[in-house]
């Protein structure tokens, strides 16, 4: 029986991915990086700084991943007011609020994730927020989901995780949690097997 729930944020609770893509496209153009949209979505859940390290190394372009990550967030933040909830998933969080502990586990940065949840009026639903700054190994490693389970005081095997990316699904499964692919809830195409 499920005793705790852990949700990803971007693309799972909040429809932020198209806005993040706009910000990424601007940054990639500004810094001469090749970063096609399909690759952006394939790297969903990976912190911006890690994506920038990867692109910099692959394309032999010198840049400061921390500074450029901050630039990317500066491009994204003005669009925050446009973020809408993904109701099919938010309704699950509302239904379980006060019944079992819940957490958010996001590859994003804590201040941004907090702002998104407050903007959507759902921050109060969650007992813990775990972000990329809280763990060393990022998705597809299970660390972020394991830390979320620890913070809500529920064994991982008694938790259900909600995700919208292949890397996130791998992380949930590696954590030993029941995995829900929200792309299937939303009837979006998925390559997850």
Question: pLDDT, tens digit, for every residue of 119-168?
Answer: 999 999 999 999 999 999 999 999 999 999 999 999 999 999 999 999 99
* Catalytic residue (one of 8, 10, 143, 166): 8
What is the per-residue pLDDT across 99-115, written as a single tens digit (0 to 9) for each?
999 999 999 999 999 99
Cα 86 to chain centroid, rounded? 13
Q: Quick one: 34 exposed, middle or buried, by C-beta within 10 A (0-12, 13-18, 19+)?
A: exposed
Can you give the pTM of this predicted structure?
0.89
Answer whether 163's CB lies under 8 Å from 105's CB.
no
What is the per-residue pLDDT across 73-98, written as a single tens digit (0 to 9) for each?
999 999 999 999 999 999 999 999 99
**Which architecture characterizes domain 17-80 according to CATH?**
Orthogonal Bundle (1.10)
What is the per-residue pLDDT across 112-129, written as a single tens digit (0 to 9) for each?
999 999 999 999 999 999
> What whole-number distance in Å separates Cα of residue 160 and Cα of residue 55?
33
Tokens 């372009």, residue?
A: 61
Section 183-187 average pLDDT: 84
For residue 191, is pLDDT > 70?
Answer: no
What is the per-residue pLDDT across 14-26, written as a single tens digit (0 to 9) for each?
999 999 999 999 9
Q: Does domain 4-15+83-185 have CATH number 3.40.980.10?
A: no
Q: Is 127 a catalytic residue?
A: no
pLDDT tier at 44, thresholds 50, 70, 90: confident
For residue 61, is pLDDT > 80?
Answer: yes
pLDDT tier at 188, thresholds 50, 70, 90: low
Tokens 């029941």, residue?
A: 178
> What whole-number distance in Å separates Cα of residue 27 and Cα of residue 32?
8
DSSP SS3 for 5: strand
> What whole-number distance in Å separates Cα of residue 122 and Cα of residue 186?
20
* Domain layout of the chain by residue ranges: 4-15+83-185, 17-80
pLDDT of residue 157: 98
């Amino acid at each position: 029986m499920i005793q705790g729930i852990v949700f990803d944020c971007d693309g799972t609770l909040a429809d932020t991915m198209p806005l993040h893509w706009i910000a990424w496209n601007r940054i990639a153009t500004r810094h001469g990086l090749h970063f096609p949209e399909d690759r952006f979505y394939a790297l969903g859940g990976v912190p911006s700084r890690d994506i920038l390290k990867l692109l910099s190394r692959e394309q032999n372009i010198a840049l400061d991943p921390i500074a450029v990550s901050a630039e990317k967030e500066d491009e994204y933040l003005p669009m925050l007011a446009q973020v809408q909830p993904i109701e099919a998933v938010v309704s699950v969080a509302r239904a379980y609020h006060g019944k079992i502990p819940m957490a958010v586990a996001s590859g994003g940065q804590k201040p941004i994730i907090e702002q998104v949840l407050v903007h959507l009026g759902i921050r109060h639903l969650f007992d813990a927020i775990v972000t990329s700054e809280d763990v060393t190994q990022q998705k597809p490693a299970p660390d972020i989901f394991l830390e979320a389970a620890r913070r809500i005081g529920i064994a991982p095997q008694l938790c259900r995780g909600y995700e919208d990316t292949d890397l996130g699904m791998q992380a949930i499964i590696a954590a030993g949690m029941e995995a829900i692919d929200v792309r299937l809830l939303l009837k979006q195409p998925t390559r997850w097997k």
